[in-house]
A and B are shown apart, each in its own frame.
Chain A
Amino acid sequence: MHIPDGFLSGGINAAGFAVSAGVISLALAKAKKKLEDRYIPLIGVTAAFIFAAQMVNFPVAGGTSGHFLGAALAAMLLGPLTGCLIISIVLIVQCLGFADGGITALGTNIFNMGVIGCFSGYYIFTGLRKLLPKNPAVNITAVSISAWMSVVLASVFCSLELAFSGITPLKLVLPAMAGIHAIIGVGEAFITAAVVSLVMKYRPDVMDFNRSYSNTGLISGVKL
């Protein structure tokens, strides 16, 4: 889903940069106000974790393989705005360090995978939690559904951008992209559910929805 340089029209790239820069500055401003400086190393290290997790490949039909995205996971663990920061950091390194995703398309890639991925994953999850009865099994189902949705939605936006740049008609790219990501999303759903359930078991205090930012329990929870 990493769009390279040269594919998107100038307008879409500019819009992508504008929206992503806006969301990132919002996240940083929020971080300055709400979060404390202890989150600076934490976000960097957690982003490194997401990067490492993205190296996990799983087979998809037709001999290709998909990899874990982690946007929904990051959002559920640390909140949607912090999640956006984390995914942005991963994408910036992938672009500058590996040429994976173009520099002119960086804003758009951050929008698709960071903004759409994190916000859809997080709010579909919190929405489902409100609607459904509260028990662990239902919770995990909600996690899976929102992780799956976040990947599919990100790919839908990716197809829209390619189509609007005149690269390919929407009726061709949308089913292709959404279709393949509907399959990749299953892996995403399984892994996200497994990670979230284990984290809830061992360190429920770190989960975003179990924690208020004013709570200072974070560091005192360190066990050495």
Chain B
Amino acid sequence: MHHDFIDKYSNLDSPVHRIDSRVKIVFFFSLILICVSTPIYHIRAFFLYFLILIAILTISKIPILHVLRKSLVIIPFVLIIALFIPFTETSETVFRFNDSPDLMMNRWLLFWNVLVKAFISIITLILLNSVTRFDDTLKSLSAFRFPIVLINMLSFFYRYIFVIIDEAERMQRALVSRLFRGRSLIHAKVIGDLLAILFLRSYERGERVYLAMCARGWDGQLLIVDKKPLILKDSAALIIGLAALLLIRLWSV
């Protein structure tokens, strides 16, 4: 089996891919934060955020279909929660939305507001993992005082997730080829047994990995994350990117 569904296209070569991953993380996270904090009636601002994303998408040569396909997995769930909004009387809500008082008058505006922000954020995250290798993203988190132990655990996660999914798929194929059709609750026992075996195999793999680490001289030192200073080009990209975001945000106050 071949999986690359976390960071597909992150191995492409483009000006965006070549930027230091720390810069990309700061920029994309800032974009989400700034977007979420933008008042909804500044429709131009949202249009500009979106334009920035399209520009990055074009420069980085990521197929737009990939981003749309990946976002389609998430958006239906967003819609389900959002659909609570327009069909609610304003007076019924417990608290006021922190945005602005007159917004409460128009539930459809709030609906639109939430959807646009969620959509831009989802596209931003998908873009981030399409232009940055996932292990680079993890390592870069250490620059933001993210605990190294947790980064190490995440690295083990990333290393073994596909191995375990493959194992699960092989087991599932073995079930299906013996005419198993797990569509009802009665079959939960079978699925549970399968997961139990999968858990034990994973657990024992965790133990063997520990042995393999010891065999190669591990003495509790965590995987090292090398911290290189940012090169001029990356710092410039970061400053220009953040300045653009701030300008859009301030302009729409």
Contact = CB atoms under 8 A, between A and B. Distances in A.
A123 to B, nearest CB: 22
Contacts of A53: 195, 198-199
Given A25-B147, A172-B88, A198-B196, A165 B152 contact: no
Nearest to B199: A49
Given A2-B77, A198-B196, A218-B207, A166 B36 contact: no
A139 interface: no
B202 A44 contact: no
Interface string A186-213: 1100111111111100110010000000
A166 B98 contact: yes
B59 interface: no
A40 B153 contact: yes
A53 B161 CA distance: 11
B44 interface: no
Given A52-B164, A102-B118, A191-B195, A97 B202 contact: no
Contact of B222 (A40, A98, A168): A40
A97 B7 contact: yes
B150 A89 contact: yes
Given A45-B156, A51-B157, A203-B200, A7 B88 contact: no
A191 B191 contact: yes
B160 interface: yes
A48 interface: yes
Given A4-B121, A170-B94, A46 B74 contact: no
Contacts of B156: 40-41, 43-45, 48
B81 A163 contact: no
Given A47-B153, A99-B122, A194-B191, A203 B160 contact: no
Interface in B109-168: 110, 113-118, 121-123, 125-126, 128-129, 134, 137, 147, 149-150, 152-161, 163-165, 168
A6 B113 contact: yes
B6 A98 contact: yes
A56 B155 CA distance: 23
A4 B36 CA distance: 11
A30 B191 CA distance: 33
Interface stretch (A31-39, A112-120, A128-136): A31-39
Given A45-B160, A51-B161, A168-B93, A97 B129 contact: yes
Contacts of B89: 169
Contact of B78 (A4, A169, A176, A191): A4
Interface string B189-220: 10111011111101111111111010000101
**Chain B interface: which size bin?**
35 or more
B interface, over-half SS: helix
Contacts of A47: 153, 157
A46 to B, nearest CB: 6
A89 B192 contact: no
A198 B189 CA distance: 10
A162 B84 contact: yes
Contacts of A97: 6-7, 129, 134
Given A3-B81, A7-B114, A192-B192, 8 more contacts: A28-B150, A89-B157, A93-B154, A96-B128, A104-B121, A173-B84, A194-B193, A219-B207
The 6 closest A-B pairs by CB, nearest first: A194-B192, A44-B156, A6-B117, A5-B121, A190-B188, A198-B196
Interface of B: 6-7, 29, 32-33, 35-37, 70-71, 73-74, 77-78, 81-82, 84-85, 88-89, 92-98, 104, 110, 113-118, 121-123, 125-126, 128-129, 134, 137, 147, 149-150, 152-161, 163-165, 168, 183-185, 188-189, 191-193, 195-200, 202-211, 213, 218, 220, 222
Interface of A: 2-7, 9-11, 24-25, 28, 31-32, 37-38, 40-49, 51-53, 55-56, 58-59, 68, 77, 85, 88-90, 92-93, 95-100, 102-104, 162-173, 176, 186-187, 190-199, 202-203, 206, 218-219, 221-224
